[in-house]
C-alpha cells in the first residue's frame, strides 16, 4: 500500500492581555513583576457579597480588536460564569463570554476569525522547586496580582494548513494588535499567549480528523516547532493504524517532547450560566464611533499601500509595516525631503539603519528622519559614494548630526576628476598583470584596479567613473 499523504488542519486560540490601567471587574491596578498579592481586593479575590463592575476601557479595546479583525459586533452581548475549581481561580468560576461574544465572523489576512470575546485572566500559579511543572514541584504558590486582568480571546476558524502559515498569521496579528495600542503583546511576559488546535486528514478528504490542543506556547518559533512535532506524531499514529486521541498537550521546546495534560475523559463541563451581577454590553453608536476613530491604519493595509503607492517590494513593505515605528520613521523621512526615491530610502531604513540600531526603534536613536533622507539624497546624487554614505550613517547612529557637515568635516565627498585620474594612473602602474589581462580581454581583471582606487580614496570613488577612466586610459 502507498503511504497516505496527510494535510494538517490548524485553528488558533489567542489570549491578549489588554493594556488598561485597572482590572476587568475591579479597581485594582494591572501590574507585571510587582511584589506578589499587593494588587487584590474583595472582587478579584472572590469574597462573598462583592460585586463586579465592567471596565469600560476594556470594552473599548475589545471593540477596537473586533473591528480591526473585521468582525460583526454583537448589538448586545453578555457575560457568563465558566465554572471550574482550580487554585488560581478564587471565585470558582471565570467570568467570560459564551454564546454571544463581543464580535464574530471576521478575518485577518486569509484566516477567518470565528469569534472575539472578553474575559478575565486567572491568577498566577508558581510551581516552586524542580522543573516548574506542577506534578514535579515541591510546592505551588499563588500570586493573585494577575487574577482579573482583562483579556480578549481570539478564536480562528480551522483555516490554517502549515506551521509556517500559523507563524505568519500570528506575526500579522501581533503587529496589528500592537499598532492598535490595546496591548503590549509581549510574549515573554505572557500578554500574548497562543493555543494551537491540530488535526490531520488524508489529502482530498473534506471532513476533519480528531484534534488535539497544544497549550500556551509563548514564542512564535516554539509554536511553529510544536505544530510540526504534533503533526508528525499524529501521522505516525495514523500510519501505524492507530487513532488520534482528543487531548490537551504540552510541548516542551527544550526537548521537543509532547506530553498529555488531560484527555477527553477529563475534559471539564463548565456549567456555563449567565453572570447575574453584570449588565449586558450594548455598544452605543458613540462607543462604536469612538473605537472606529481610534483605529490607525493597520499593518496589512499599510504594507499594501507601500507596495501600490510607493512601489516597494513585498518583503520591504512588510518589514516597514510590521514594525510600525520603522514605517513611521520611513514615512517621516520621505515627507522630510521630496527628492528621495521611496524604494531607495526604504532599503536604507530596513537594511543599513536596522543593522546599526538592532531592536532600538529609530525614534529612540540619534538619527533624525530628515538626516537619513538627506544622506540618501547625497548618495543618489553621487555627491558621496555608497560606502561613504555608510560611514556617514555610522556617525549619525553614534552621534546624530547633519550629513552634509559630517561629509565636510571628514572629507568624505566623492573624489574629484583630477584626484581620481592621478590615483587611476598609480593603480595601473601598480597592477601590471591586471592591465595585461584586461588588454587580453579578461574583463574581470579590472577588480584589482578598482580595489586599489577604492583603498586609496577610502571608498570615496564612484565605481562607474573609475571603470570609465580605466577603459579610456587603456583605450579598451
Ligand atoms: P472546542 O469545542 O473543542 O473548544 P471549537 O470548535 O470551539 O472546539 O474550536 C476551538 C478551536 O479549534 C478553533 O480555533 C477551531 O478553529 C479549532 N478546530 C476545531 N476543529 C478542529 C479540527 N478538527 N482540527 C483542527 N482545529 C480545529
Ligand atoms: Zn481587585
Ligand atoms: Mg471552544
**The pairing of beta strand 124-128 with beta strand 139-143:** antiparallel
Q: Is 222 within the bounds of a domain? A: yes
28 CA distance to ligand 2 middle (Å):
4
pTM above 0.85, yes or no: yes
pLDDT at 217: 81
Q: Is 1 within the bounds of a domain? A: no
Ligand 1 interacting residues, C-beta cut-off 6 A: 9-13, 155-158, 197-199, 208, 211
pLDDT at 272: 96
148 CA distance to ligand 2 middle (Å):
7
101 CA distance to ligand 3 middle (Å):
12
375-399 burial code (b ≥16 CB/10 A, e <16): bbbbbbeebbbebbbbbbbebbbee
Which 3 state secondary structure label does DSSP give 248? strand
Q: What is the pLDDT of residues 365-376, one digit of tens each?
A: 999 999 999 999
Confidence of residue 465 (pLDDT cuts 50, 70, 90): confident
Mean pLDDT of the chain: 93
State whether 199 and 318 are in the same domain. no
First to last CA, the chain: 68
State whether 382 and 422 are in the same domain. no
Residue whose CA is closest, atom 22 of ligand 1?
A: 211
- Ligand with smallest separation from the Cα of 195: 1
Q: What is the pLDDT of residues 214-227, one digit of tens each?
A: 997 889 999 999 99
Among candidate residues 260, 292, 324, the one where a domain is terminated? 292
Q: What span, in angstroms and rounded, lies between the C-alpha atoms of 37 and 243?
A: 45
By the CB criterion, residues less than 5 angstroms from ion ligand 2 are 26, 28, 41, 43-44
Overall number of domains in the chain = 3
Domain of residue 463, CATH code: 1.10.10.410
Q: Which candidate, 326, 317, 27, places its Cα nearest to that of 178?
A: 326
pLDDT at 476: 79
130: Cβ contacts below 8 Å, ≥ 6 apart: 136, 137, 138
Atom of ligand 1 nearest to the CA of 155: 14
State whether 266 and 351 are in the same domain. no
By most ligand atoms within 8 Å of CB, the mutation choice from 165, 197, 207, 272 for ligand 1 is 197
Q: What span, in angstroms and rounded, lies between the C-alpha atoms of 97 and 58?
A: 14
Q: Which candidate, 172, 181, 185, places its Cα nearest to that of 321?
A: 172
For residues 89 and 53, the answer to whether their CB atoms sit within 8 Å is no
Among candidate residues 409, 433, 461, the one where a domain is terminated? 409
Atom of ligand 1 nearest to the CA of 12: 14
CA distances from 52 to 63, 82, 142, 453 (A): 20, 15, 21, 76
Q: Which candidate, 419, 410, 407, 403, places its Cα nearest to that of 462?
A: 419
Burial class (CB in 10 A: 0-12, 13-18, 19+), 238: middle
Domain coverage including residue 372: 299-409
- Ligand with smallest separation from the Cα of 25: 2
Atom of ligand 1 nearest to the CA of 198: 25
Q: Is 399 within the bounds of a domain? A: yes
State whether 357 and 431 are in the same domain. no
Q: Residue 37 has which C-alpha cell?
A: 498579592
Q: What is the pLDDT of residues 111-128, one digit of tens each?
A: 999 999 999 999 999 888
Amino acid at each position: 500500500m502507498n503511504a497516505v499523504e496527510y494535510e494538517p488542519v490548524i485553528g488558533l486560540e489567542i489570549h491578549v492581555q489588554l493594556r488598561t490601567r485597572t482590572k476587568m471587574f475591579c479597581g485594582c491596578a494591572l501590574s507585571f513583576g510587582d511584589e506578589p498579592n499587593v494588587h487584590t481586593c474583595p472582587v478579584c479575590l472572590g469574597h462573598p457579597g462583592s460585586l463586579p463592575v465592567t471596565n469600560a476601557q476594556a470594552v473599548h479595546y475589545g471593540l477596537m480588536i473586533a473591528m480591526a479583525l473585521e468582525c460583526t459586533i454583537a448589538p448586545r452581548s453578555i457575560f457568563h460564569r465558566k465554572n471550574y475549581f482550580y487554585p488560581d481561580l478564587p471565585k470558582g468560576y471565570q467570568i467570560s463570554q459564551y454564546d454571544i461574544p463581543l464580535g464574530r465572523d471576521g478575518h485577518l489576512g486569509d484566516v477567518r476569525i470565528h469569534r472575539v470575546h472578553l474575559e478575565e485572566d486567572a491568577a498566577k500559579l508558581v510551581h516552586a522547586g524542580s522543573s516548574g511543572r506542577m506534578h514535579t514541584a515541591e510546592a505551588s504558590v499563588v500570586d493573585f496580582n494577575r487574577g482579573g486582568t482583562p483579556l480578549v480571546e481570539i478564536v480562528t476558524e480551522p483555516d490554517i494548513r502549515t506551521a509556517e502559515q500559523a507563524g505568519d498569521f500570528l506575526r500579522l496579528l501581533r503587529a496589528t494588535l500592537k499598532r492598535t495600542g490595546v496591548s503590549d503583546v509581549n510574549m515573554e511576559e505572557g500578554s500574548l499567549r497562543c493555543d494551537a488546535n491540530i488535526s490531520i486528514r488524508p489529502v482530498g478528504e473534506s471532513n476533519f480528523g480528531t484534534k488535539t490542543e497544544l497549550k500556551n506556547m509563548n514564542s512564535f518559533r516554539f509554536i511553529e516547532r510544536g505544530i510540526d512535532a504534533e503533526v508528525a506524531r499524529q501521522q505516525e499514529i495514523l500510519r501505524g493504524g492507530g487513532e488520534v486521541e482528543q487531548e490537551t498537550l504540552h510541548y516542551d521546546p527544550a526537548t521537543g517532547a509532547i506530553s498529555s495534560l488531560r484527555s477527553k475523559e477529563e475534559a471539564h463541563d463548565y456549567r456555563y450560566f449567565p453572570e447575574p451581577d453584570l449588565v449586558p454590553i450594548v455598544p452605543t453608536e458613540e462607543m462604536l464611533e469612538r473605537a472606529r476613530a481610534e483605529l490607525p491604519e493597520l499593518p496589512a493595509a499599510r504594507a499594501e499601500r507601500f507596495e501600490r503607492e510607493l512601489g516597494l517590494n513585498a518583503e520591504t513593505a512588510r518589514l516597514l509595516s510590521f514594525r510600525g515605528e520603522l514605517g513611521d520613521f520611513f514615512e517621516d523621512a520621505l515627507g522630510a525631503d521630496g527628492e528621495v526615491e521611496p524604494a531607495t530610502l526604504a532599503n536604507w531604513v530596513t537594511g543599513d539603519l536596522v543593522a546599526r540600531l538592532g531592536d532600538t526603534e529609530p525614534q529612540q536613536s540619534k538619527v533624525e528622519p530628515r538626516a537619513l533622507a538627506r544622506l540618501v539624497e547625497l548618495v543618489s546624487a553621487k555627491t558621496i559614494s555608497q560606502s561613504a554614505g555608510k560611514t556617514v550613517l555610522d556617525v549619525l547612529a553614534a552621534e546624530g548630526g547633519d550629513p552634509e557637515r559630517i561629509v565636510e568635516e571628514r572629507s568624505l565627498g566623492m573624489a574629484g576628476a583630477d584626484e581620481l585620474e592621478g590615483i587611476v594612473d598609480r593603480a595601473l602602474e601598480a597592477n601590471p598583470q591586471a592591465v595585461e589581462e584586461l588588454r587580453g580581454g579578461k574583463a574581470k581583471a579590472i577588480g584589482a584596479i578598482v580595489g586599489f582606487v577604492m583603498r586609496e580614496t577610502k571608498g570615496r570613488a564612484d565605481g562607474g567613473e573609475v571603470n570609465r577612466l580605466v577603459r579610456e586610459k587603456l583605450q579598451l
